[in-house]
Amino acid sequence: MDRLAARRRWEGALFLLGFGLCIPAANWLIGNAGTVCVPDGPCLIPVAPGVMAPSGVLMIGLALVLRDLVQRRLGVAWGLLAILAGTAISALYAPPALVVASALAFLLSETADFAVYTPLQRRGLVRAVAASSVVGLVVDSIVFLWVAFGSLDYLAGQVIGKAWMVLLALPLVHWLRRRDARLGLAPA
């Protein structure tokens, strides 16, 4: 195996590990970290003036970006396996009352992300990550809120919170794309 292929696999493994860790981190944050924790409910953080969201939204926004990077480094099959494994992890770590909502939202949002990212990635990595993440975060927010609570009352906070993490990750994605081009490190 040449050096670039080894580097691609090593980076892919790091992205996969980060992706996998985002899921239990999101569930831990929801129950333990926020500026206010609702009794028998989530811990909330401000995501915009006057807009609150469960603190776990930050990790879900990051997970959407990392899944795209797993696919870029390790290939489509690994991207799909990451979705399935992430769904199982989501069901395993979600609070009992939210298992179905969490797992279904994760599965559908990551699949939507995959469906948008895959055809766009060759046209531009940053554009593909941004577009697929936006689709994924909206799907995740709608499915989770509707299945868990039968309401979309907190949709704005969910979308804004996840979008912040995507926006914060895009400069890294841009740097990664430029570095890949300089090194001749083609995607998987």
Tell me: pLDDT of 185 over 80: no
Place of tokens 């129950």: 31
In a domain, 59, yes or no: yes
Count: domains in the chain: 1
pLDDT of res. 6: 87
pLDDT of res. 188: 66
Mean pLDDT along residues 9-26? 93
**Domain span including residue 157:** 3-183
Mean pLDDT along residues 99-110? 91
pLDDT of res. 42: 82
Tell me: pLDDT of 156 over 90: yes
What are the distances in angstroms from CA 70 to CA 15, 26, 54, 79, 80?
Answer: 6, 19, 26, 6, 10
Mean pLDDT along residues 39-64? 90
In a domain, 188, yes or no: no
Tell me: pLDDT of 163 over 80: yes
Sign of the Cα torsion 116, 117, 123, 126 reads: positive
In a domain, 85, yes or no: yes
The helix or strand, by DSSP H or E, that contains position 43, with its residue range, turns out to be strand 43-48
Instruction: State the pLDDT confidence band at 187, using cuts at 50, 70 and 90.
Output: confident
CA separation for the pair 108, 187 (Å, rounded): 25
DSSP for 128-182, written as a single string? HHHHHHHHHHHHHHHHHHHHHHS--TTHHHHHHHHHHHHHHHHHHHHHHHHHHHH
Tell me: pLDDT of 101 over 80: yes
Instruction: State the pLDDT confidence band at 11, using cuts at 50, 70 and 90.
Output: very high
Length of the chain: 188
pLDDT of res. 1: 58
CATH of residue 56: 1.10.1760
